[in-house]
Chains A and B, each alone.
Chain A
Amino acid sequence: MGSSAEVIRPGSPSEATSAYGDGAGAAVLAGGTLLVPDLHFGRARPERVIMLGDAGLSYVTRSNGTVTIGATTPVDALVGESSPLGPCAASIGDNEIRAQATVGGNLCAPAGFGDLQGPLLALGATARSAGAGGERSESLEDFLTDRSGRLLLDVTYAEPAAGAFASLGRPHAHHYTVMAVSGVRTVDGATQLAVVGAGTVGSRLRSAEALAGDAEAAGDAAGDAVNPSDDPLASGWYRTRTLPALVKQVLSELEASA
């Protein structure tokens, strides 16, 4: 078995952007932890595959309290970051997967993966991407709403004053996250919350954020705001009832670290 797609290896971000063009018929190969077997078994049949390994998109830069993470930065490079990003990165797969998997691949992964969406949404990250119409920067939230035809270049966020992360169960490295909540207290004192596992992509929990002072009410509001469906990991019923507990846990951790 195997893919006979044309293989392109850009040597810089700008080469990557022009090779990607409008993205038609293209698949981006970053770490490959999802795409390589998909290509092998014919579950993905792109016309061209853009290998990002040498595209110069692996970096973490910091200036004036702002952090920028390149799309091909491996997940394990984030393990030492503060909560919620670091603990979330540490909970992904196992050490071999974390070393190979990239941040961009994670954010662009199909439903069921994409754990890093949670902390980066809570951090209010900005996504810089290329594609039809050229390069653009937008909130990660907007980017995730419709990322087709976009090549993610990097994400940027402001370092928070405090952060917290709560994830449902980790009995074994081979679990995929059932549900996880990330929380951030910004330097301005605002509370930002996001969840993965309550829909096909991660989402902000705005109604809960508005009630952040009352953990109980915030948890209930979060539960009311989502309508998750069943999948092999857990039923929607179970997820709906789990979410308030995770929200409460994150809010109390934020409170404790403030």
Chain B
Amino acid sequence: MKAVGARLPRYDGVGHATGRTVYVDDVRVNRMLHVKALRSPYHHAAIKRLDTSRAEQMPGVAAVVTHADVPLLVYGHLSALGIPADEPLLASEDVRYKGQPIAVVAAEDTDAAQAAVDAIDIEFEELPALFDMRKAFDDDAPQIHHWGPIYPHFEGEMNVRQIRKGNIDEAFEQADKIIQGVYRPAAIEQMPLETQVGLSVPEPDGRFTIYSCTQALYFSMGVVAAHLQQPLNKFKFVGGTVGGGFGGKVDTATETLCTLLAQKSGRPVKWRWTREEEFLCSSTRAPWHMEIIDAVSNDGWILGRKMLTLHDAGGYARFSPYGVTKHSFHHTGAYTIPNLHFDGYVVFTNRVPTSAMRGYGVTSVSFAVETHMSRIAEELGVDPFELRLKNANRIGDTSPNGITYTDPSTVDVLHALAGATDTELAAPYSDTTREMRHGEWLPEHLVGQLGDPEDH
């Protein structure tokens, strides 16, 4: 054990501090081409005509790629798990968000590429757009997705992620009070300092060396191979040096199109997004709409929770079903609630597709739950620490999806927080432990939910 607990220097620290670290944009290869994309100027439109012949003849242009050039147009990051995909690599019939790529041009420099993009002949028919996911369920809501307003493939064919635990009706019958709240965190751009960038180099043996800023190298590799319908051994990925990601570089952004352009032109192709593209066209953290209704007792036990979550996927599903599933597993936060009724929907809108960001699916619900805990404490007139310590996850408690906790940290964190804020906790809260519930810590409503940590 030379490494665990030791203060080892970062392996890349010296490279960073001396400017020697080679990021994707720093890789130099001869005869490199540069990319610009034709992106949708509309939030929602039908593509009536797309003709790139004039762009192909422009000076300095080496290759133009549209949907017609992609061997497998529709593929998703979750496809390898057998989950249906919905997003074309390049838009073909319609565009569902502003900034969606429709065609890409590789040229001698970015000016030539942009001039060719401007020369692409395209005609749109603008369609009504939807930005507020709460309106997706209205009868007159714009129809934007071929799957309908919500994602229909949870567990194959359910349009909702559900959790049912315990006996929710009984909990609400026993409640002294019912306390509700609505929580709506907004979208956030991950904003890594390095924008999306990729470089694909065709090798003499027919393989491609792909320099990637991805956070998820094997995901990207699988996605490129699938779209190109080639075996994985055709692609050598060089990754690991990421100029920040924060979830924004989980989705494959540039590698596939660079490789298609490299294949068509026979030359190395680099695509670095501008900061403007990064802000306007790259995935963001999702906006969420969360409604929590809790059945509580006057002495501060949370007997049951009903929760409705709407997750804004933007124009396509991407990882959203995964995000909502993870969200559902965490919808009680750091606390134990035995009776649950959770419904979570992935809703399509005409915003940029949303994706991972730091604690995917969980930060939203943590915000909602902690705010709601404070609201409960206030409405009941109980101390917010005491409310939290009472309901804190303990060894043997079970999560919404039935996992028995063996190493929960809620109690320790709350005690540390009290210490850091000079909060005096009264007994017995000052002595609460994370050990299995018993005695006053095991009220009747929690008996049935206890699991056996040994089984874990």
Question: Direct contact between A and B in the complex (CB less than 8 angstroms)?
Answer: yes
**Which residues of A does B touch, CB under 8 Å?**
1-2, 41-42
- B126 proximal to A (CB < 8 A): no
In the complex, what residues of A have CB within 8 A of residue B109's CB? 1
**Would you list 7 pairs from A and B whose C-beta atoms are within 8 A, ordered by A residue?**
A1-B109, A1-B110, A1-B111, A1-B114, A2-B111, A41-B274, A42-B114
Beta-carbon contacts of B84-120 to A below 8 Å, as 1s and 0s? Answer: 0000000000000000000000000111001000000
Q: How far is the CB of A91 from chain B (nearest CB, A)?
A: 24
B110: nearest residue on chain A (CB-CB)? A1
Instruction: List 4 tightest A-B contacts by C-beta distance, closest first.
Output: A1-B111, A1-B110, A2-B111, A1-B114
Report the interface size class on chain B: under 10
In the complex, what residues of B have CB within 8 A of residue A41's CB? 274
**Main DSSP-derived SS at the B contact region:** helix
Beta-carbon contacts of B271-283 to A below 8 Å, as 1s and 0s? Answer: 0001000000000
Find the residue from A1, A2, A41, A42 having the highest chain B CB count within 10 A.
Answer: A1
In the complex, what residues of B have CB within 8 A of residue A1's CB? 109-111, 114
Q: How far is the CB of A40 from chain B (nearest CB, A)?
A: 10
Give A2 to B109 CA distance when docked, in angstroms. Answer: 11
In the complex, what residues of A have CB within 8 A of residue B111's CB? 1-2
B109: nearest residue on chain A (CB-CB)? A1
In the complex, what residues of B have CB within 8 A of residue A2's CB? 111
Give A191 to B110 CA distance when docked, in angstroms. Answer: 54
Interface residues of B in 251-308 (CB under 8 A from A): 274
Q: How far is the CB of B271 from chain A (nearest CB, A)?
A: 15
A4: nearest residue on chain B (CB-CB)? B111
B274: nearest residue on chain A (CB-CB)? A41
Give A1 to B274 CA distance when docked, in angstroms. Answer: 12
B113: nearest residue on chain A (CB-CB)? A1
Q: How far is the CB of A153 from chain B (nearest CB, A)?
A: 34
Give A19 to B40 CA distance when docked, in angstroms. Answer: 42
Q: How far is the CB of B261 from chain A (nearest CB, A)?
A: 19
Q: How far is the CB of A60 from chain B (nearest CB, A)?
A: 35
Give A42 to B109 CA distance when docked, in angstroms. Answer: 14
Q: How far is the CB of B259 from chain A (nearest CB, A)?
A: 24
Q: How far is the CB of B119 from chain A (nearest CB, A)?
A: 15
In the complex, what residues of A have CB within 8 A of residue B114's CB? 1, 42
Give A181 to B409 CA distance when docked, in angstroms. Answer: 50
Give A41 to B110 CA distance when docked, in angstroms. Answer: 10
Give A85 to B111 CA distance when docked, in angstroms. Answer: 42
Q: How far is the CB of B33 from chain A (nearest CB, A)?
A: 15
Q: How far is the CB of A174 from chain B (nearest CB, A)?
A: 12
Give A1 to B113 CA distance when docked, in angstroms. Answer: 10
Give A1 to B111 CA distance when docked, in angstroms. Answer: 5
